[in-house]
Amino acid sequence: MSLIYGLITGILFGIIMQRSGILSYEKQIGALRLIDMTVFKVMLSAIIVGAIGIYFFKDIGVIKLSLKGTSIGAQVIGGLIFGVGWALLGYCPGIAAGALGEGHLDALWGILGMLFGGAVYAVIYPFMKKYIISIGSFGKISLPQILGINHWIVIVVFSILMVVLFRFFEKKGL
Amino acid sequence: MKNKTLNPYVAGALIGILLVLSVIIAGKYLGASTTFARGASVIEKAVGIDYSKFDYFTTKKGKYGPGSLPNWQLMYVIGIALGAFIASKLSGTFKAKAVPTMWKNKFGSSSLKRGIVAFIGGAIGLIGARLAGGCPTGHGLSGLSQLSISGFIALAFFVIGAAITARMLYSR
């Protein structure tokens, strides 16, 4: 059943992303070159709605959070490395699958590269674990937790900041 | 389906709802990059490489090893490709293309050159994603929706690394 849920979720995600037009190289690189913000508009508005939904259903006890551990070393260095790859390929992992579905055949080379990258990571993992992931490792922490304030305050402030950003994008025609 | 682009804010809201429904119904936060690491272990097993000599494929009870597939996330990634294919076919926006236009205008129409850079980019990207512990879906969408510190840091550095690289690639 889990497999079917995965497939259905993926299909719906693929349809929404395709219809919003963010699967192309031009939209992805356009966002990274800061000339077309469509990708960030989709992503950040998804995060606002997601955060409201996740914390609402968490508060009423329907779901649990599943935080990823925070490691400054892993997320800063891994993040920068990921960014270099994202810009060279022009698609992030989930987008690459959708881009291929839409006919961007170069995404297939990217997917093969990702499989190769997965194999390389398995080889270098012991080194990363010892020297990189251990830098600034804080475990599973959230912003409201370290600020010591109610999560709804964080969500409201975050949403307001994002709406200001969206208005800036629209005003500048980005 | 009309050939009209969905408003990005509406699309984002729908994706947010999809994430929440996935967590409620299937107990799954969205993410994609782990599937490629798992896929690598499956390929290694298939071609006879002893994958078990790599700690990564045996750690956490084989969470990233070949025994972990097929799973929810693999089907989710396949579903994305299927969904995009169906939607692009129905809307008449499907177009098989080996070299993106923006790339062609800057680097020429060689599909080999584009393929090599795409492969290298995919490899570097996945190494970075696995080190960071997720991709823009896992850290960005799922992580930030939970207001996770790891999500804020990862997404910020994904974008910083990518924006600098894109700027260098496309500078005159």
Smallest Cα distance from B50 to chain A, Å? 12
Q: What percent of chain B has pLDDT over 90?
A: 90
Long-range pairs of A60-66 with CB within 8 A, sequence gap ≥ 24? A62/B24, A63/B23, A63/B24, A63/B27, A65/A142, A65/B146, A66/B29, A66/B142, A66/B146
Q: How many CB pairs lie under 8 A apart between chains A and B?
A: 523
Q: Is B52 on the interface with A (CB under 8 A)?
A: no
* pTM for the whole structure: 0.96
B110: its two tokens: 């060689």
What's the pLDDT at B87? Answer: 97
Query: Which runs of E-coded beta strand occur in chain A?
Result: 70-71, 137-139
Give me the interface pTM, i.e. the ipTM: 0.96
Residue type, A29: I
In this structure, of A21-30, B51-60, B111-120, the range with the lowest mean pLDDT score is B51-60
Of A17, A89, A154, which has the smallest distance from its Cβ to B122's Cβ?
Answer: A89
List of residues 6+ apart from A24 with CB closer than 8 A = A99, A102, A104, B100
Residue type, A147: L
**Between chains, do B75 and A15 touch, taking CB under 8 Å as contact?**
no
Of A72, A103, A116, which has the smallest distance from its Cβ to B97's Cβ?
Answer: A103
Residue type, B68: S
Tell me the mean pLDDT in the region A140-162: 97
Which H helix or E strand runs over A139?
strand A137-139
Of A78, A103, A114, which has the smallest distance from its Cβ to B94's Cβ?
Answer: A103
What span, in angstroms and rounded, lies between the C-alpha atoms of B103 and B6? 25
What's the pLDDT at B1? Answer: 45
Tell me the mean pLDDT in the region B154-164: 98
**Between chains, do B148 and A68 touch, taking CB under 8 Å as contact?**
yes
B22: its two tokens: 């996935």
DSSP state string for A82-118: HHHHHHHHSS-HHHHHHHHHTTBTHHHHHHHHHHHHH
Which residue does chain B place closest to A126, by CA atoms? B55
Which has the closest alpha carbon to B22: A62, A68, A38?
Answer: A62
Exposure string of B50-84, with b = 16+ CB inside 10 Å and e = fewer, is ebeebebbbeeeeebbbebeebbbbbbbbbbbbbb
Of A10, A78, A90, which has the smallest distance from its Cβ to B132's Cβ?
Answer: A78
Q: What is the DSSP letter of A68?
A: P
Tell me the mean pLDDT in the region A80-102: 97
Question: Is B159 in contact with A83 (CB distance < 8 Å)?
Answer: yes
Question: Is B15 in contact with A41 (CB distance < 8 Å)?
Answer: no
Measured between beta carbons, the chain B residues lying within 8 angstroms of A26 are 100-102
**Between chains, do B9 and A79 touch, taking CB under 8 Å as contact?**
no
Residue A138 DSSP SS3: strand
Q: Which residues are bridge partners to A70 per DSSP? A: A139
**Between chains, do A6 and B86 touch, taking CB under 8 Å as contact?**
no
* pLDDT band (50, 70, 90) for residue A133: very high
Q: Is B135 on the interface with A (CB under 8 A)?
A: yes
B132: its two tokens: 């960071």
Smallest Cα distance from A24 to chain B, Å? 8
Q: Which residues are bridge partners to A142 per DSSP? A: B148
Structure-token match 């690639």, residue found: B169
What's the pLDDT at B3? Answer: 56
A76, A81, A108, A157: which to substitute to probe chain B, counting the most B Cβ within 10 Å? A81
